[in-house]
Amino acid sequence: MISALIAVAIQAHWWGPRVEASLKRAPTREAKWIQYLKTVPPIDRPAVSYLVSDLPYGDLLSLNPAEITENVRLALKVKKEVPWLKSVPEDVFDDAVLPHACVSEPRDSMRSVFHDRYLALSQSAHSPGEAALALNKTLFKDYKVVYDTKRLRTDQSPKETIAQGIATCTGLSIMLVDACRSIGIPARIAGIHSWPGRGGNHTWVEIWDGGWHFVGAAEPDPQGLDHAWFAADAAKAIKDRPLNAVYAVTYRQTGDHFPAAWDDDATFNGVNVTDRYAKATAATASTRLMVDVTWLGERVKADAQVFDAKTGAQVGSGICLGPNADVNHFFTVALPVGQRVIVKVSYQGHHAEKTAQIDEDTVLRFDLSD
């Protein structure tokens, strides 16, 4: 009789102390979550337990528990549908495929929509990396989404981004991560709060393919994973300065936090991954001149020419980046440290020039409407 009572008690409280402790953070909704947990079928319990144990506080307060059930159902479904997921470690699946959200975006999931639209892409790929590259090339074109700073918010959900047709790097990265996870590609948010020396922040995506690799959302590089315009900047990140280090977001608690540039009070679980981006540089390494041109408050594709101030020889030329390029991505020329240059820019009959001494990475800005 006593054994039977113990069995009933265990059955009623299958979820364990970590889930119990998590629910205690939101006492006004604890009873609702417990009522939900009692209905979870045994096959879904490990996944539900994982999600609820580290469920963001805001989700404890406002999320409909049924959304966890639907998310788990789709995650476990794709696990059976994509052949190479069998070789993905369980902890990677739990942390980078199973979660229902990335950071602080609204919880209005498109997992089912993305799954149905792009599953064939994963099933035909030989690896998560191959599938992610293909998805990055087509996802934003399919939904006619481009980079633009006029978006309504930084941490947009995919539904918000698609409705506007625009997002900045964080919204684009959230959309790519969500789409990746929907078809079994382990993915997570990564980024830096402030680039050392020149400021500005950036968010991108990490993909697991035998290890973690990076890719710019809506910025497919023909060279594939681990190639992007921000790679040189990331290589200069400073590990022991949280605001100048590269972090990745994780679902599980790590004791460390991803410093979100859009919300200094946010406490997303994070891991410092700066070492993976760091590269050895010689003491005599070149530095960079970056040129940015605006007209009536908007970035424009102006012609730029760079000349050695002493000899007059041209040392660089190209086209500055327009409004649909990331605000921290510039027309760039590598120069010897200490070189003095003259920079000339022109756009639709308007011209300007500046002289600059390039002792460190330098952003030279022109406003041709001023």
**Given a cut of 60, is residue 43 above it in pLDDT?**
yes
When pLDDT is averaged across residues 274-302 and rounded to a whole number, the result is 80
The neighbour count for residue 60, using CB atoms within 10 Å, is 20
CA distances from 343 to 132, 287, 312, 363 (A): 39, 16, 11, 12
pLDDT per residue as tens digits for the range 277-289: 986 443 345 688 9
What are the b/e assignments for 321-359, b being 16+ CB within 10 Å? Answer: bebebbbbbbbbbebeeebebbbbbbbeeeeeeeebebe
Q: Are 217 and 329 in contact (CB under 8 A)?
A: no
CA distances from 361 to 132, 197, 319 (A): 32, 7, 19
In the chain, % of residues over pLDDT 70: 95
pLDDT per residue as tens digits for the range 161-170: 999 999 999 9
pLDDT classification of 197: cutoffs 50, 70, 90: confident
Rg of the chain over CA atoms, in angstroms? Answer: 24
CA distance 149 to 151: 5
pLDDT per residue as tens digits for the range 143-159: 999 999 999 999 999 99
When pLDDT is averaged across residues 314-331 and rounded to a whole number, the result is 93
pLDDT classification of 7: cutoffs 50, 70, 90: very low
Provide the pLDDT for residue 3.
44
pLDDT classification of 267: cutoffs 50, 70, 90: confident
**All domains of the chain, ordered by start, with CATH?**
1-81 (no CATH), 83-277 (3.10.620), 287-367 (2.60.40.10)
Amino acid type, 297: G
**Given a cut of 80, is residue 73 above it in pLDDT?**
yes
Provide the pLDDT for residue 287.
85
Least confident of 13-17, 285-289, 330-334: 285-289
Compute the mean pLDDT over every residue in the chain, rounded to the nearest whole number: 92
Provide the pLDDT for residue 129.
97
Provide the pLDDT for residue 356.
94
Which of 363, 206, 228, 222 lies closest to 274, judged by CA?
Answer: 206
**Given a cut of 70, is residue 270 above it in pLDDT?**
yes
pLDDT per residue as tens digits for the range 173-186: 999 999 999 999 99
Residue 41's contacts (CB-CB under 8 Å, 6 or more residues apart) are none
